[in-house]
Amino acid sequence: MSLLLLHQPHLSIDLLELNIIKNIWHVENKYYSANVQASIHSTLALSEVHWDDIAAVVIIFDTSLPIDDLDESLECINNYSDSIQVKLAVGFGESNQSKNSVSNQSLLSDLDSDLDSHFIARQVEFIDPNSSDQGGLSRVHDSLSTVMWDGMQMTDNSGENSGDTSVKDTSKNTMKPSKVIAQSDNPFDDDFDDILSDPSDPLNTSQDDLSHLLSKLNTISAKVRSIDNIHERHSLAEFFADDLASYLKSDQEDEIN
């Protein structure tokens, strides 16, 4: 499986700030590392793309140009939507470079809302690289990290906190979903509950199976991306991430103690 990076001709892939060297994206976080094959193509050269092996795609586009310029790219992505696990569109341009005045902020908010709606209708997540609410470019890395890439190697954090003498938070995550998730009217509540609280699930008894963990994340990611309301989608993703992070932290503290 590979990562596809599509860019409009005048924009560089370097804008994403990913660690790509000789068409290899090296992803590394506190849980795993992997070398991912990356293919880079212009949105004007889609015929050169080998779509069958694509697991994730990121489109880099200019927000000051007509969004219709991406129609062909989005159509190709849609044709292979079943096999592409992560679909992102990152917008750069004059529209997100000047945010000083109140009027500019209002216009930018309207533009982002329109872009959100446009891409959501095509099952693609729009990311504003300057949005603190979304996490900016970190959101790109985080989304791509949910894919179960070939050749993943688990990161050894066994001695990470061996010399840490600071006071730790002794509260333990009970594996119950956040109140916001539990009280929402979202139709996927039961799915969140099952993944976070099923005592028979291997996710709740061992963190050794990284593939199983990422599979769960992919399931949640797909469900979150299918929510039409962009604000609700971001909120649910954020709260689920908080719950999972809290659980992993507690689990690591248990092992150390």
Same domain assignment for residues 8 and 92: yes
Residue-level pLDDT at 54? 96
* Tokens 């849609």 found at: 78
Identify the domain boundary among 144, 162, 197. 144
Same domain assignment for residues 126 and 180: no
Residue-level pLDDT at 155? 78
Indicate whether 40 pLDDT > 50.
Answer: yes
**Which residues, in sequence order, are bridge partners of residue 24?**
21, 37
How is residue 206 written in tokens? 């061992």
Same domain assignment for residues 185 and 233: yes
Euclidean distance between CA atoms 16 and 60, whole angstroms: 8
Indicate whether 5 pLDDT > 80.
Answer: yes
Same domain assignment for residues 7 and 111: yes
* CB contact burial 98-108 (16+ within 10 A = b; e otherwise): eeeeeeeeeeb
Number of folded domains in the chain? 2
Indicate whether 97 pLDDT > 70.
Answer: no
Based on the number of CB atoms within 10 Å of its own CB, is 49 exposed (0-12), middle (13-18) or buried (19 or more)?
middle
Same domain assignment for residues 135 and 176: no
- In this structure, what CATH number is given to the domain that contains residue 133? 3.40.50.300
Residue-level pLDDT at 114? 86
Euclidean distance between CA atoms 4 and 190, whole angstroms: 33
Identify the domain boundary among 129, 144, 159. 144
Residue-level pLDDT at 83? 92
135 band by pLDDT with thresholds 50, 70 and 90: confident
Indicate whether 198 pLDDT > 70.
Answer: no
Same domain assignment for residues 85 and 190: no
The rounded percent of the chain whose pLDDT value lies above 90 is: 41
Containing domain of residue 111, as a range? 2-144
Average pLDDT over residues 96-116: 56
Rounded to 5 degrees, what angle do the CA atoms 76, 79, 85 make?
Answer: 95
Q: What is the pTM of this model?
A: 0.62
Question: Is residue 42, in this structure, part of any structural domain at all?
Answer: yes
Least confident of 123-127, 225-229, 247-251: 247-251
Euclidean distance between CA atoms 2 and 84, whole angstroms: 10
Sign, CA torsion 37/43/46/52: positive
More confident of the two residues 46 and 239: 46
Residue 226's Cβ-side half-sphere holds a number of Cα atoms within 13 Å equal to 11
More confident of the two residues 203 and 131: 131
How is residue 228 written in tokens? 């039409």
Residue-level pLDDT at 165? 36
Amino acid at site 3 = L
Same domain assignment for residues 13 and 133: yes
* Tokens 């990290």 found at: 145
More confident of the two residues 69 and 133: 69
Same domain assignment for residues 57 and 124: yes
Average pLDDT over residues 68-76: 96
Same domain assignment for residues 197 and 111: no
Same domain assignment for residues 198 and 135: no
Residue-level pLDDT at 69? 95
Same domain assignment for residues 178 and 88: no
Question: Is residue 15, in this structure, part of any structural domain at all?
Answer: yes
Residue-level pLDDT at 107? 47
